[in-house]
């Protein structure tokens, strides 16, 4: 008897679970606001050096004045000459090509009234600052997944969710009123950490209360709510052109979820795991009442016995060393699969965020590009619902990454005057990598042995965050050559897709339980080489030694 059997009696996705589940999906929208806000908060409009005689001038200059003032394709310096009336009207010729660095800038405000970039002049030799700010936001996401993940397991899902939510509100507002770059970036980094606490904890609560046959739907549908938030971010940016008010507007919807404190329960599964069965039984009985079912009394008795047995087992195993990521790297076949999975996570995260944040560099209407980039995620996730359990995890993972790679690399051959085709290729790549990203979660969980599954997924998530941390710098490369970020993302996707063919299929296969199962899973019967055979003998010897 386990909690999954209780779910069977309750109904795998009954009215109670549906109500709580859809309420928990809504915070994913606000988390998307914060993760994608940097596209608009740190938007970099066209700019040029302010000339010595200018004071609050508009961005536009006549072609004649452009030629007199700036070297060709140069916006970070101007000619070091006397800008007299005679020189500006063409009466005097320029006598030198020497240039002078900017002390002030003029920005094109036709698309963005302002941004953190224009307020703190993060252009030219300071352009690295804007990418670093987004990169530190993703570092916050990495730290948050570790900190709030630990809190969630130790203190409970519910208190961790609300602690994250309150911090998100406080530092979201502080980022909007930050007087300078440093305090803004630190506040945004903490907001990034809280997105892990809010989204991931809500995701865990949702999946822990639905039956196994609904978990694929529940996991994918919550990602769709994130995509809705992705698109709505552009709606806020369309109506709010001041970056500080935009940050506040994207933060305040989180206030609505404070009322969840009286609505969302603690995870009954977690309570049972911690031996707090009375509290868990209250939640189970409430769910049963709303679902209009009866839970037999013997089920509660059996759960109590199971909790007691698990507690004894935990005490017996407490002296044994905890599993670490090094257990995944000790044996040849398991190490090969683990490194391939890590690379897949790195590429999926880096390419996903690289494409999401690169919409301003694609040309055309930037808001439309952004909305399309979010909209293509809906069919991407829908594809998973219909194919993952039919075509297999490896087929979908490899296929979508190869499609992403080919479509993004195809931009090399697109003429520069066919900007619509570049955008179309980028969006096909975004659709494909979104499907791939959704697949890697379940595929990885089925590859790692049970004894190190959480460790493996945690390490994979950390590697993915490294990809996200590096992704903002792709925007800078796009300023050098517009297709360059797409080419880099395409090459990585293509390589990762081909390498993923080396991973074994997991659909309808028993999940590995022990390290030995993990080493043997997907391994051919005949040893591939002497080293591999020696690794297997070493593993068997260690396992036999432990059992004796």
Integer CA distances (angstroms), 43 to 127, 320, 325, 367, 540, in order: 11, 52, 39, 12, 57
Position 32 scores a pLDDT of 95
Mean pLDDT of 507-535: 66
pLDDT (average), residues 350-372:
89
In order, the DSSP letters of 91-106 are SS------EEE-SSEE
Which of 406, 379, 548 shows the shortest CA–CA distance to 487?
A: 406
46: left (phi over 0), alpha (psi -120 to 50) or beta: beta
Max intra-chain CA distance, the chain: 100
Six token digits for residue 155: 């203190």
DSSP 210-270: S-GGGHHHHHHHHHHHHHHHHHHHHHHHHH--SHHHHHHHHHGGGGGGGGGGGTSPPPHHH
Between CA 256 and CA 202 the distance in angstroms is 15
Of 12-21, 65-74, 288-297, highest mean pLDDT: 12-21
Q: Closest Cα to residue 195, out of 468, 430, 453?
A: 468
* Per-residue model confidence (pLDDT) at position 327: 80
Q: Looking at residue 58, what is its pLDDT?
A: 82
Ramachandran area for residue 22 (φ above 0: left; ψ -120 to 50: alpha; else beta) = alpha
pLDDT at 75: 85
Question: Residue 379: helix, strand or coil by DSSP?
Answer: helix
Mean pLDDT on 314-335: 74
Q: CA 499, 503, 508: angle at the middle one, nearest 5?
A: 145
**What pLDDT, in 10s, does the model give residues 118-162?**
999 999 889 999 999 999 999 999 999 888 888 888 888 899 999
pLDDT value for 317: 61
Average pLDDT on 199-224 reads: 85
pLDDT of residue 524: 66
Cα–Cα distance, 498 to 399 (Å, whole number): 9
Confidence band (pLDDT; 50, 70, 90) for 240? very high
Sketch the domain layout of the chain as residue ranges: 1-42+127-309, 47-108, 323-526
The rounded percent of the chain whose pLDDT value lies above 70 is 92
In this predicted model, what pLDDT tens digit does every residue of 22-47 receive, in sequence order?
999 999 999 999 999 999 999 999 89
List CB contacts of 19: < 8 A, sequence separation 6 or more: 290
Tens-digit pLDDT profile for residues 386-442: 998 889 899 999 999 999 999 999 999 888 788 889 999 999 999 999 999 989 988
Distance CA 465, CA 345 (A): 9
**Architecture of the domain defined by 323-526:** Up-down Bundle (1.20)
Statement: residue 538 has pLDDT above 60: no
Confidence of residue 198 (pLDDT cuts 50, 70, 90): very high
**Six-digit token string for 548:** 């004796």
Q: What is the pTM of this model?
A: 0.87
Please state the rounded mean pLDDT for residues 225-252. Answer: 95
Q: Locate tokens 């004649």: which residue?
A: 64
Q: Can you read off the two tokens belonging to residue 269?
A: 């599964």
Residues 99 and 74: beta-carbon distance below 8 Å: yes
Evaluate if residue 276 carries a pLDDT over 70: yes
Q: How confident is the model at residue 530 (pLDDT cuts 50, 70, 90)?
A: very low
* Contacts of 74-78 spanning 24+ positions with Cβ under 8 A: 74/99, 75/46, 75/47, 75/48, 75/49, 75/124, 76/49, 76/101, 76/102, 76/123, 76/124, 76/125, 77/49, 77/101, 77/102, 78/49, 78/51, 78/102
Residue from 152, 102, 129 nearest 41 by CA: 129
Write down the mean pLDDT value for the chain: 86
Give the mean pLDDT of 504-528.
75
pLDDT in tens, 370-380: 999 999 999 99
Only one residue has tokens 């829908």, namely: 382
Instruction: State the Cα–Cα distance between residues 343 and 444, nearest whole angstrom.
Output: 12
Task: Indicate the CATH number for domain 1-42+127-309.
Answer: 1.20.1250.20
CA dist 127 and 149 (Å) reads 34
């Amino acid at each position: 008897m386990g909690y999954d059997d209780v779910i069977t009696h309750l109904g795998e996705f009954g009215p109670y679970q549906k109500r709580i589940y859809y309420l928990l999906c809504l915070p994913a929208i606000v988390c998307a606001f914060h993760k994608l806000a940097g596209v608009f908060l740190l938007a970099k409009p066209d700019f040029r050096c302010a000339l010595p005689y200018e004071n609050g001038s508009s961005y536009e200059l006549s072609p004649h004045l452009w030629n007199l003032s700036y070297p060709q394709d140069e916006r970070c310096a101007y000619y070091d000459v006397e800008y007299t009336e005679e020189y500006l009207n063409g009466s005097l010729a320029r006598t030198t090509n020497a240039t002078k660095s900017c002390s002030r800038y003029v920005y094109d405000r036709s698309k963005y009234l302002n941004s953190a970039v224009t307020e703190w002049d993060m252009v030219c030799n300071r352009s690295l600052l804007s990418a670093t700010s987004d990169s530190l936001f993703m570092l916050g996401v990495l730290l948050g997944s570790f900190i709030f993940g630990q809190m969630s397991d130790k203190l409970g899902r519910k208190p961790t969710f609300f602690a994250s939510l309150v911090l998100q509100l406080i530092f979201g507002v502080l980022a909007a009123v930050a007087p300078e770059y440093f305090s803004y970036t630190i506040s945004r980094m903490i907001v990034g950490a809280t997105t892990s606490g809010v989204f991931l904890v809500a995701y865990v609560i949702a999946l822990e209360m639905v039956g196994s046959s609904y978990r694929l739907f529940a996991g994918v549908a919550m990602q769709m709510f994130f995509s809705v938030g992705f698109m709505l971010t552009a709606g806020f940016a369309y109506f709010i052109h001041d970056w500080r008010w935009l940050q506040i507007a994207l933060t305040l919807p989180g206030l609505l979820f404070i009322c969840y404190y009286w609505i969302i329960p603690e995870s009954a599964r977690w309570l049972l795991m911690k031996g707090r069965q009375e509290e868990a039984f209250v939640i189970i009985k409430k769910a049963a009442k709303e679902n209009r079912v009866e839970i037999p009394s013997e089920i509660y008795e059996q759960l109590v016995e199971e909790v007691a047995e698990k507690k004894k087992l935990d005490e017996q195993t407490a002296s044994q060393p905890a599993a670490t990521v090094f257990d995944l790297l000790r044996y040849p076949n398991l190490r090969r699969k683990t490194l391939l999975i890590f690379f897949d996570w790195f590429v999926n995260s880096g390419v996903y965020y690289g494409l999401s944040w690169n919409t301003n560099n694609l040309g055309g209407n930037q808001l439309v590009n952004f909305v399309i980039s979010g909209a293509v995620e809906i069919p991407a996730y829908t594809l998973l619902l219909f194919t993952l359990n039919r075509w297999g995890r490896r087929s979908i993972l490899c296929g979508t990454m190869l499609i992403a790679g080919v479509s993004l690399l195809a931009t090399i051959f697109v003429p520069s005057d066919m900007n619509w085709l570049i955008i179309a290729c980028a969006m096909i790549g975004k659709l494909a990598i979104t499907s791939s990203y959704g697949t890697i979660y379940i595929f990885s969980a089925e590859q790692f042995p049970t004894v190190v599954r959480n460790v493996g997924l945690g390490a994979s998530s950390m590697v993915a965050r490294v990809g996200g941390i590096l992704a903002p710098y792709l925007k800078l490369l796009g300023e050098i050559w517009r297709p360059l970020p797409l080419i880099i993302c395409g090459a990585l996707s293509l390589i990762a897709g081909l390498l993923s063919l080396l991973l074994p299929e997991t659909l309808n296969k028993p999940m590995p339980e022990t390290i030995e199962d993990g080493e043997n899973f997907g391994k051919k019967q005949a040893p591939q080489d002497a080293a591999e055979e020696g690794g297997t003998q070493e593993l068997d010897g260690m396992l036999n030694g432990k059992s004796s």
